[in-house]
Amino acid sequence: MSKELLVQLTEWRHYLHEHPETAFEEVNTAKFVAEKMAEFGYEVATGIGKTGVVASLTNGTGKKTIGIRADMDALNILEQTDLPYASKTKGKMHACGHDGHVTTALGAAKILADTKEFNGTVRFIFQPAEEHGKGALSMLEDGLFERFPIDEFYGLHNMPTLPEGEIHSKSGPIMASEDNFRIEIKGVGGHASAPHQGKDPLVVAAEIILALQTVVARNVDPIDTAVVSCTEIHTDGIINAIPSNVVITGDTRSYKPEVQQLLEHRMRLLCEKICEANEVSCEFSYSNSFSPTINWEECHQVAIQAAKNVLGEQLVNEQASPMMASEDFGHFLKLVPGCFVFLGGMREGVEPYPLHHAKFDYKEENLVKGAEYFAEIVRLQLK
């Protein structure tokens, strides 16, 4: 069955890879998913959170419901793989492996529909718009858990930097929050030869960028983890003129709400006081994009047992190192118990392309492994 299933899953993934759709544009992907799930015998609801799909199947008399999530969106990246199934949409590609995630969930859904080895209800949530952190929130705002209640929620992400076919996870924080900031500095521009006649916002911006590096070093408890990164700077100046306006943007990463609040407070204070001292104005904005992904202990134990049952103990790491990257599955785990794991895709002797790389490709041998893993969770929890 696994060999036949791999052939089928590979065909489905190649189709999805050829037809990538970015955030909230996953119309064809959602249609493809909905048709397959209906063919398997699932009750399908579409248009959840704009383009999301929820497919449910009940077997037996059990009252418990397990949720499995797969994200569907691609990225605005020009593919450079030269694969026979490369993207047919110029400037868009599945560079993060969400085509593999969708296919893995379809595989698990087919296994469960064919075998009926569970007693209760399983729901597959195919989520849009993970990449910019809006998809989970959109589904929640559309009443996801009120309309489709679940007791436990599970997800995975392929990870090309971990050994192929291994599942890594941990209890507690496994992926960080992402908060975005924007600092707009308004000064007085002028000729580059006469800086004393203006108020140079570019020099102030440089001072702020350096000062922000002290927030983690001198305000965050060394036991905690945080990152502050200024990633862009824009001015309205030209080569021989001092600008009037400078905008700095970037993001922060952390695991605890209190650290998020501390970062915002200290950053705002530094920006406003540095601008005040330099007699320029400052507008500081700070917003949350991704909540930290924090695994529930009891669900972590379920995920680890399922992984060991499918892969063997030697291919499972239950004390994985957390990552500072973000995943909007964290929004779900604030509301319901669940666990998120990494599925490794790095082959020995082959340099891996990282996520979001123009030459990234999903390791298809993992499709059946991931599908069996999800199916095993459902078997374990719906007895």
Domain containing 326 — which CATH number?
A: 3.40.630.10
Clarify whether residues 110 and 181 are in a common domain: no
Clarify whether residues 123 and 25 are in a common domain: yes
The tokens for 214 are 């002290």
> Helix or strand or coil: residue 97?
coil
Clarify whether residues 258 and 356 are in a common domain: no
Clarify whether residues 192 and 319 are in a common domain: no
> Helix or strand or coil: residue 376?
helix
**Span 348-365, average pLDDT:** 92
Q: What is the pLDDT of residue 237?
A: 87
The tokens for 134 are 């809006």
Domain boundary residue among 256, 290, 324?
290
Clarify whether residues 263 and 317 are in a common domain: no
Clarify whether residues 250 and 106 are in a common domain: no
**Rounded to an integer, what distance in angstroms lies between the CA atom of residue 129 and that of residue 27?**
12
- CA-based radius of gyration for the chain: 23
Clarify whether residues 333 and 283 are in a common domain: no
The tokens for 44 are 């399908």
* Model confidence, pTM: 0.93
**pLDDT one-digit tens code per residue, 215-239:** 999 999 999 999 999 999 999 989 9
Clarify whether residues 141 and 241 are in a common domain: no
**Rounded to an integer, what distance in angstroms lies between the CA atom of residue 196 and that of residue 191?**
10
> Helix or strand or coil: residue 156?
strand
Q: What is the pLDDT of residue 331?
A: 97
Do the beta carbons of residue 8 and residue 85 sit within 8 Å? no
For strands 120-127 and 52-59, give the pairing: antiparallel
**pLDDT one-digit tens code per residue, 236-278:** 989 999 999 999 999 999 999 999 999 999 999 999 999 999 9
Place of tokens 């909230």: 24
* Cα distance between the two ends of the chain: 23
Clarify whether residues 338 and 192 are in a common domain: no
Domain boundary residue among 240, 273, 290?
290
Q: How confident is the model at residue 24 (pLDDT cuts 50, 70, 90)?
A: very high
Q: What is the pLDDT of residue 147?
A: 98
Q: What is the CATH number of the domain that holds 222?
A: 3.30.70.360
Q: What is the number of structural domains in the chain?
A: 2
Domain boundary residue among 252, 272, 290?
290
Clarify whether residues 58 and 128 are in a common domain: yes
Clarify whether residues 125 and 95 are in a common domain: yes
Clarify whether residues 119 and 249 are in a common domain: no
The tokens for 69 are 């999530």
DSSP 314: G
**Rounded to an integer, what distance in angstroms lies between the CA atom of residue 32 and that of residue 41?**
15
Domain hosting residue 204, numbered range? 177-290
